[in-house]
Amino acid sequence: MANPAILSVEPQASASAEIEWLLSPAPVPYEAAIKTMEGRVAAIVAGRAPETVWLLEHPPLYTAGTSAAPEELLEPSRLPVFRTGRGGRFTYHGPRQRVAYVMLDLGRRGRDVRAFVHRLEDWLIATVARLGVEGERHEGQIGVFVGEAKIASIGIRVRHWMSFHGVSLNVDPDLAHFSGIVPCGLKAPVTSLAALGIHADMERVDTTLHDSFDEVFGTTAISANSCR
């Protein structure tokens, strides 16, 4: 794993070596996370590491995807802004928002990016359903909504049929920070599990993400390594 100063992996019991789950208990700086993800994908391609799902949080920040329009950054001085190679527009990341970077080989998963995004949405919908929230898709939009409000976002990049970046689920972030951007280019409101009355800690959310991933992708959820 790249950048050992950021990630100190402590192996735990593993049911399978097919996909490795990594967990960072403290917020990870965005640039360090991208460097680590790039290194991990290179290791996967070289056959030195298994496919990976990395669960983490970031300090408060905005990221601008490849389709982000400058006028959608409403408060440029509010938080640090990072240009990134993922698809999509502006989004917010911060504490109490679960980010899952999904590093999977689409070469053996159908080579269909649209279908992959659809399955990521299925994963998030299944996750919030297990937590007591009915999520849904909106025609022509990417992500998961509860009524008109968005609760989860998806932004991926695919290179040589390997996926980078992933999804974010609003557990209990500071929703006020979304007012500094036009989130994902939409004027729809943003919500969270907590705002909907679901008070789930990150451990419960992570366990639910594991279980739902297995359900949707048909893959045994593997190790839950700790990355500090």
Catalytic residue status for 227: no
DSSP one-letter string for 177-211: GGGGB-GGG--S-B--TGGGT----HHHHHHHHHH
Amino acid at 30: Y
Burial of 40 (0-12, 13-18, 19+ CB in 10 A): buried
**Exposed (0-12), middle (13-18) or buried (19+): which is 80, by Cβ within 10 Å?**
middle
Q: Which of 22, 41, 73, 184 is an active site residue?
A: 184
Across the chain, which distance is largest between two alpha carbons, in Å?
48
Enzyme catalytic residues: 184
